[in-house]
Amino acid sequence: MFNISDKVVCIDDSDQDDHGDSVILNIIYVIRGIRDYEEEDFIGLYLVGLNAGIDEEDGSERTFASERFRKLEDIKEENRLKNICKSTNKEYIKL
């Protein structure tokens, strides 16, 4: 579903913990890594410019739940989101 270097859009920024950086609704991010938690049936994403914090159990970098994102469809959508963010004074992409 997701690949490294894909642009993704945050579709859910609710209920985030305070261990690291947070994602913001409608902001575009770039995937820098993917982690498959097979035992938990969960896919985690590492995002360029963000750190979700450190896992206290094993000391590894935490990931963002893939369910919080969807792939960016095309340049028209990217431009539409860019305009929305400009109107709200938000950064539209995290690189």
3-state secondary structure 10-47: ECCCCCCCCCCCCCCCCCEEEEEEEEEEHHHCEEEEEE
CA distance 92 to 69: 15
Q: Looking at residue 9, what is its pLDDT?
A: 92
| pTM of this structure | 0.78
Block mean pLDDT (10 aa), the chain, length 95: 92 85 90 91 93 89 94 75 65 54
Q: Looking at residue 57, what is its pLDDT?
A: 86
Task: Provide the b/e sequence for 41-79 (b: ≥16 CB within 10 Å).
Answer: eebbbbbeebebeeeeeeeeebbbebebbeebeeeeebe
DSSP state of 60: P
